[in-house]
Amino acid sequence: MAERAQRRPWYTVLYLQVLLAIFLGIVVGHFFPKTGIALKPLGDGYVALIKMMVAPVIFCIVVQGIASMRDMRKVGRVGLKALAYFELVSTLALLLGILIAQVARPGEGLNIDPGALDSKTVASFVTRAKDVGVVDMLQRIIPRTFVDALAGGDVLQVLLISILSGFAISMMGAAGERITQLIDTLGKAFFGMLRIIVRAAPVGAFGGMAFTVASYGLASLTNLAKLIATFYATSLIFILVILGGIAYAAGFSILRFLVYIKDEILIVLGTSSSETVLPDMMRKLERLGASRSIVGLVFPTGYSFNTDGTNIYLTLSALFLAQATNTHLTATQIFSILLFAMIASKGASGVSGTGFVTLAAILGAVPAIPIQALALLVGIDKFMSECRAVTNVVGNGVATIVVSRWEGELDVAKMREIMAHPLSSGDGKAA
């Protein structure tokens, strides 16, 4: 009887709604391009609604998590473990992009003349790329005011004020405990608002996909289909092999984890934004058994320091452009690309169009590759950004579980049970 009560009509399941919306968006964008372009506000509006909730949700979770900790050394320990993990896995992603580019050679045979390309199409990205770097990142972390961090929604700025607030409240004694309870209650209210907004995900996915296909057209994929296919295949290898191996060592199946977060994957695929699922992913990771404090510290931080999908894109695309323009790169130049990408991928956090802007910065640092070759990727970057975002979300989800396991705060048996039977854990209702 319990199983029968949990079954719902297929059309009420969120991930099926999003999947259908994506398909309809492709159809409308392809056959009715004017209508598809007119539907852009649907996708933009949904992303804006989600971004509206990101800052307050992160603030409440991080503050409540830190303030409730009695051992402040634990916060530093968790942070160091997370950063060490991020650096290791991010480097593996960069190396995988280089390896696959050298083996598959997706740009070979295109014989593109850089002088024939329109450099105006990438001029704005080249200008913005000058602001990508460690110094700029450090300056951008500090908001003008406390309220400005919440209003602007920059994840790093919100993390900074949240961590400072959490430490301050933890030292206030009984008064701090009352403030912590209030923030915990506010967090529950914000999550309630978020659950309402997430129900509109199919509308956002429909509008976003219709606009993308109408703007760039399915025909724009044909000339660069090998690069797109190589990038998607490389990301899949990274998720199944590298993240799969890490997940296995941590005591869970990567495939079951992907099924567990299938709603979020489809929402990211439809909206091309990983921010749209940030709060809901944090809720799901908590349900798996990870503590709120670790989830609040690790998962949002990963959005800046653990962008695995973006890292694969950077090295793979840089070498693709070199191959497409018949530019020979020495081992030293390839190492330079790797080294600069390791730095720039962190420094570009919070910049709109991060992947493309950071790639422009890399080409500027390695002048052997003509920067005007970026024009080749303008028409397909939107399609590649979807895969970047999905890979980033999956990578940060795995990172959060692993760090939680390292801290000895994860009930592995419970986690496996929830992944094996997500509906019985309440996910189906919450979604």
The pLDDT tens digits for 130-180 are: 555 555 656 667 888 888 877 776 667 777 888 888 878 877 877 877 888
The answer to pTM > 0.85 is no
> Which residues contact residue 168 at a Cβ distance below 8 angstroms, ignoring those fewer than 6 apart?
none
Among residues 377, 395, 394, the alpha carbon closest in space to that of 385 is found at: 377
> Which residues contact residue 375 at a Cβ distance below 8 angstroms, ignoring those fewer than 6 apart?
117, 118, 119, 121, 122
pLDDT single digits (tens) 221-242: 555 678 888 999 999 999 999 9
**Which position has the token pair 């760039």?**
216
User: Does the pLDDT at position 92 exceed 60?
Assistant: yes
Burial class (CB in 10 A: 0-12, 13-18, 19+), 154: buried
Among residues 154, 123, 114, 102, the alpha carbon closest in space to that of 334 is found at: 102
pLDDT single digits (tens) 238-283: 999 999 999 999 888 899 999 998 888 888 877 767 777 777 888 8
> Which residues contact residue 275 at a Cβ distance below 8 angstroms, ignoring those fewer than 6 apart?
47, 50, 51, 54, 155, 303
In this prediction, residues 318-334 reach a mean pLDDT of: 86
Q: What CATH code is assigned to 2-430?
A: 1.10.3860.10
